Amino acid sequence: MRTLLGIPGPALPIVAVGVASAMHVGKLPPALPWLARELGVTLVQGGFLLSMIQLAGMTLGALLGQLADRLGPRRVMLVGLLLLAAGSALGALAQGPQTLLWTRGLEGLGFLTTVLPAPGLIRRRVAEVRAQARALGWWGAYMPIGAALGLALSPPLYAAVGWRAAWWGLALLALASAALLARSVPADQGRGEGDAARLADALRAACGGLRLTLASPGPWWVALAFGAYSGQWLAVVGFLPTLYTEAGWSATAVGWASALAAGINLSGNVGAGRLLARGWSVRRLLWLGYGAMALGAVGTFTLPGWAGYAAALGFSALGGLVPGTLFALAVRLAPSPATVSTTVGWVQQLSSLGQFSGPPLVAWLASQVGGWHWSWVFNVLCCAAGAALAVALQARWRAALAAPARV
């Protein structure tokens, strides 16, 4: 099987589409100063803008996952990319914070519908277990890579052409991603060829698959652990541009520093896939990841200058061990092969809940105490919860490895 950068060939276009979609997450933090000046967006409203893209995932993740299983993951991803393009284009036309919030919500629906079926599609396209673990490790890195690109490229683009034109450009990128997916991934076989009656049948079947997923403990533990990770990661990385702008850093320095802090997360994601394939325990990887995030968050919000930034890099780099491990767990702990996307959807749902609540909570805490110096408390509490969940996940992982492989 051909690979590029360790990514199995059949998974490469899927990972690329995920990266392009995640750029819509990374485009917002650098835009907050522009949005504050032009549209009057406040700090707390900025927190909700950061998290609004997770609204759909917070409410619809598991159901959309089951629909993806029933209607075909490739088809659902294509619909998601079209919604993502529409949300970005409409956001470029917004004239106030309220309109921007709702267009961001539409982007969130498109983002969720795009990325949620991807692990199941990778599982279908990459059958060999070790190659599958590597591919899913890279898939776990789609968010930091895409967010880093958005964080790095957005500031010079905003300065050169304005945030509205840049968001139009990202809408076109979503359409180009849809073309790439349609061209490089074979069509779903025997799924979704019917009309409204078939969709109704899929919805009825989805309810059954959703009940099966939610009756199984494995998806719950993975989802809760992901929620404990995702909210705090977005709260730290999402507010780094604001933190360093307030510290007097230049726009270019802020953009590249924020991008590196987001992008370095991929090292942990990719490393988790490789270490799992070599036999490292789930508990060991998760404890290392959550522990590094707790220490890194304390340093980010309390240490001055470059020392605080080094702590942010450690927070993100080693923290990447958590999603890289949990994506592999989500695929293996699905109660049946027909509920892989549903399980990933439930994980996405609680992950989105964390990302929806984390940035506004940290913004509220900072506004109440008059600075960022107590914001790390939120991160430490999340890490403690994740470390406790790692114990239950270790037992589930051992049982899954001992069970016969499912296709």
116 Rama sector, left if φ>0, alpha if ψ -120 to 50, beta otherwise? alpha
How far is residue 354's CA from residue 345's CA, in Å, rounded to a whole number? 14
Confidence of residue 81 (pLDDT cuts 50, 70, 90): very high
**193 pLDDT more than 50:** no
Confidence of residue 299 (pLDDT cuts 50, 70, 90): very high
pLDDT: which is higher, 389 or 144: 389
- What residue spans define the domains of the chain? 3-184+194-402
Closest CA to 268 of 368, 377, 145, 397: 145
Helix (H) or strand (E) holding 3: strand 3-4
CB atoms within 10 A of CB 233: 28
Amino acid sitting at position 224: L
Structure tokens at 165: 């034109």
pLDDT of residue 360: 82
For residues 50-80, one letter each, b for 16 or more C-beta atoms within 10 angstroms of the residue's C-beta and e for the rest, the string is: bbbbbbbbbbbbbbbbbbbbbbbbbbbbbbb
**407 pLDDT more than 60:** no
**For range 146-164, the mean pLDDT:** 87
The β-bridge partners of 7 are 4
The β-bridge partners of 3 are 8
DSSP 404: P
pLDDT of residue 253: 83
For residues 289 and 267, the answer to whether their CB atoms sit within 8 Å is: no
Model confidence pLDDT, tens digit, residues 84-95: 999 999 999 988
Helix (H) or strand (E) holding 4: strand 3-4
pLDDT: which is higher, 19 or 49: 19
With tokens 């522009």, the residue in question is 34
For residues 165 and 101, the answer to whether their CB atoms sit within 8 Å is: no
For residues 48 and 361, the answer to whether their CB atoms sit within 8 Å is: no
Model confidence pLDDT, tens digit, residues 336-356: 776 776 787 788 778 878 877
- Which are the contacts of 77, defined by CB distance < 8 A and separation ≥ 6? 17, 68, 113, 114, 117, 118, 121, 181
**For range 136-144, the mean pLDDT:** 76
Report CA 191 to chain centroid distance, whole Å.
27
Average pLDDT, the chain: 83
How far is residue 55's CA from residue 355's CA, in Å, rounded to a whole number? 9
For residues 100 and 35, the answer to whether their CB atoms sit within 8 Å is: yes
User: How large is the angle between the packed helices 12-26 and 73-91, nearest 10 degrees?
Assistant: 20
Closest CA to 27 of 236, 247, 347, 262: 262
**For range 105-134, the mean pLDDT:** 80
What is 123-192 written as a DSSP string?
HHH--SHHHHHHHHHHHTTHHHHHHHHHHHHHHHHHHHH-HHHHHHHHHHHHHHHHHHHHHHSPPPSSSS
Torsion of CA 333, 287, 378, 22, to 10 degrees: -50
Between the alpha carbon of residue 308 and those of residues 146, 245, 352, 381, the distances in Å are: 23, 14, 27, 20
Closest CA to 232 of 361, 96, 86, 64: 361
With tokens 């979609």, the residue in question is 21
CATH T-level fold of 3-184+194-402: Growth Hormone; Chain: A; (1.20.1250)
Confidence of residue 400 (pLDDT cuts 50, 70, 90): low
**For range 205-214, the mean pLDDT:** 71
Structure tokens at 205: 């079947």
- Which are the contacts of 204, defined by CB distance < 8 A and separation ≥ 6? none
With pLDDT > 90 as the criterion, what percentage of the chain qualifies? 26
Written in H, E and C, the secondary structure of 89-107 is HHHCCCCCHHHHHHHHHHH
**267 pLDDT more than 90:** no
